[in-house]
């Protein structure tokens, strides 16, 4: 539109050839067509493929018509120059497919225009015209390839930052895919450098070094999806330090932090390589166990319970003995709908059942958990009993 207006002004000052009335008619027709397309867009609320194609065609028709109305055949190459801007805008706003359509339309229409000029008895400078058309095509194809690649890489970086905004740092920018490193590559490399640090800040509990609640939620979502695909079992164990308030009140919060840190380290030491340990609350921890059935999860809970009972936590130079309550739940590969929410809720139910049952014990979630005393552990295992000891102090 701006090019048409400038052409009209130059025509009025005698600096361009052509018919002023025809040029005004072209400008008026273009404004009318754009107005109709704008009205259609407002009416339907979204631009479909047909609307986008009509808009691109409108721009190209305006370039061809305004050039024909203001220039002699010797200067029709201006069409190719102006069309390149349309091509650039189409690729930027509408994508590769519509840009390829625009390129094909320009090449075909320009070739048709040269044939029409020849049919009128005027002889185009064929070598120059064909060379100009070939240069336009080669330059446009190179631009679409390069620009499209840059757009896809930028979109990938945007996706990585959007994932990071949600706390997901699973994926890194693929530097190996950048065959010609440039500024975008440097941005991707910078993201990869800070990715591990960001993940540690967002997904890790700073006190214990275990996963935090968000980290556990993400790990659980991944494992539930994987378990559903494989048809395998997934287990979650919830832990709560018994009478932890007593430690804070008696020895101070710094001493309580020492116990929490030591307990987290003990869980990491006991857990298998593929298990995920998390601190989900003040004195609440969890272990997510992939490919683990209820019996295996129960045995793991008992093992942690026994290890904590026999472990002496060193606080202010003194040894403090602590017990834990444990809740265990498992889900099979055939029952993963909303499993993340149900796993956590059921593990908490089993944990609270263990606390109500006297603490220092393991409870396995089942449908009859309300009848706590009638619950039996899987495979004949024995529920860890409470020995009545919640904390004891011994001289170091």
Tokens 């059935």 locate to 293
373 — pLDDT class (breaks 50, 70, 90): very low
For the ranges 25-34, 161-170, 355-364, the lowest mean pLDDT is seen at 25-34
Q: pLDDT tens digits for 259-280? A: 999 999 999 999 999 999 999 9
For 213-394, CATH number out of 3.90.550.10, 3.30.70.270, 2.40.50.140, 3.40.50.1370 equals 3.30.70.270
- Are 237 and 328 in contact by the 8 Å Cβ rule? The answer is yes
For range 191-202, the mean pLDDT: 86
- List the structure tokens of 70: 């203001």
Angle between helices 126-165 and 183-203 (to 10 degrees): 10
pLDDT score recorded for residue 82: 87
Q: Domain locations in the chain?
A: 2-157, 213-394
pLDDT score recorded for residue 139: 93
CA 288 vs. chain centroid, Å, equals 23
Q: In 3-state terms, what secondary structure has residue 329? A: strand
What is the distance between the alpha carbons of residues 127 and 109, in angstroms, rounded to a whole number?
A: 18
CB atoms within 10 A of CB 286: 28
pLDDT score recorded for residue 297: 95
Whole-number average pLDDT of the chain: 81
DSSP output for 237-285:
EEEEETTHHHHHHHH-HHHHHHHHHHHHHHHHHHS-TT-EEEE-SSSEE
């Amino acid at each position: 539109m701006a090019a048409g207006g400038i052409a009209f002004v130059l025509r009025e000052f005698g600096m361009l050839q052509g018919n002023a009335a025809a040029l005004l008619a072209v400008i008026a027709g273009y404004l009318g067509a754009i107005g109709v397309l704008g009205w259609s867009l407002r009416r339907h609320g979204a631009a479909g493929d047909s609307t986008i194609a009509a808009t691109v065609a409108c721009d190209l028709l305006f370039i061809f018509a305004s050039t024909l109305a203001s220039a002699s055949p010797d200067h029709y190459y201006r069409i190719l120059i102006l069309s390149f801007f349309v091509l650039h805008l189409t690729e930027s706003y509408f994508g590769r497919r519509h840009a390829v359509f625009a390129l094909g339309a320009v090449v075909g229409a320009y070739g048709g225009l040269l044939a029409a000029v020849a049919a009128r008895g005027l002889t185009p400078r064929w070598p120059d015209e064909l060379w100009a058309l070939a240069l336009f095509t080669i330059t446009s194809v190179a631009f679409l390839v390069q620009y499209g690649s840059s757009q896809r890489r930028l979109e990938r970086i945007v996706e990585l930052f959007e994932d990071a905004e949600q706390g997901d740092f699973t994926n890194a920018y693929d530097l190996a895919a950048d065959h010609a490193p440039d500024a975008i590559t440097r941005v991707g490399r910078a993201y990869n450098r800070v990715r591990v640090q960001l993940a540690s800040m967002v997904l890790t509990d700073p006190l214990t070094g275990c996963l935090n609640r968000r980290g556990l939620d993400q790990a659980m979502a991944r494992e539930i999806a994987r378990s559903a695909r494989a048809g395998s079992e997934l287990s979650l164990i919830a832990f709560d330090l018994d009478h932890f308030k007593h430690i804070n009140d008696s020895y101070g919060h710094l001493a309580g932090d020492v116990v929490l840190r030591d307990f987290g380290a003990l869980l990491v030491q006991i857990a298998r390589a593929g298990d995920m340990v998390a601190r989900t609350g003040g004195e609440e921890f969890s272990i997510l166990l992939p490919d683990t059935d209820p019996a295996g999860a129960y045995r793991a809970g008992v093992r942690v319970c026994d290890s904590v009972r026999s472990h002496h936590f060193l606080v202010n130079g003194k040894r403090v003995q602590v017990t834990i309550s444990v809740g265990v739940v498992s889900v099979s590969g055939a029952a993963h709908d909303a499993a993340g929410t149900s796993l956590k809720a059921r593990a908490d139910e089993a944990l609270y059942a263990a606390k109500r049952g006297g603490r220092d014990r393991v409870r396995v979630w089942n449908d009859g958990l309300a009848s706590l005393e009638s619950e039996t552990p899987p495979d004949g295992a024995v529920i860890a009993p409470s020995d009545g000891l919640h904390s004891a102090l011994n001289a170091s």
